[in-house]
Amino acid sequence: MLHAGIAVLVLTYGTIVGVISMRRKRGRDALWLVLLCCLTSLYELPHIGANMLTVEKAHKLVYGPIARTVMSKLGIGD
């Protein structure tokens, strides 16, 4: 319920402010605002958000093997 509410709120906000920005000839602002709001609402959606890539997941994928290699070379236990 909270997630749905936040998703709706952020999309509504993005739409309204995006339109205002377009009217004031700030197209770039409108574009990035809408993209940001869409990204936020995607994270809030129940099933989609849980499977979306976060910084934590990305870093685990990229740096996990590096960290294990370095620590095993240094002799530091897990």
Partner 1 sequence: MPAKQGQITFTSFGCLLFSYLSGFSTLFLIEAKFLNQDVWMAYSIGMALSFGILWLLHRTQIRLPNLTMLEVFDHALGKLFSRVVLCFYLVYLLEIQGDASQALTSFYRSVVLPNTPTNSILLMLALTTTYAVSVGFHAIVRSVLLALPFFLLGIAFILLMISQDVHTNPFLPPFRHSAALIGYGGLLSFFLPFGKSIVFCFLFDRIGSGRKKMASIFAALFLAGLYLCAATYLTFGSLGMRLTSHSLFPFFSAIQLVKLGEYLERIEIMIIGIWTLFTVFEIIVLQYIFVQLFTHVFRIQRPKWFVLPIGLLFFAISERSFREVYDQDYYNSHIAPFSTLIPTVVIPLLLFVVGSIRLKRLSGA
- Footprint on this chain of partner 1 (rule: CB under 8 A): 2-3, 6, 9-10, 13-14, 17, 21, 26, 28-29, 32-33, 36-37, 39-40, 43-44, 49-50, 52, 54-57, 59-60, 62-64, 66-68, 70-71, 74-76, 78
Task: Output the smallest distance, CB 46 to partner 1, in A.
Answer: 11
Task: Output the smallest distance, CB 72 to partner 1, in A.
Answer: 11
Place of tokens 């997630």: 3
The SS3 of residue 77 is coil
Q: Residue 42 is encoded by which pair of tokens?
A: 């995607």
Summarize the chain as % helix, strand, coil (round to 5). Answer: 85, 0, 15
Q: Which amino acid is located at 35 in the chain?
A: L
Task: Output the smallest distance, CB 34 to partner 1, in A.
Answer: 10
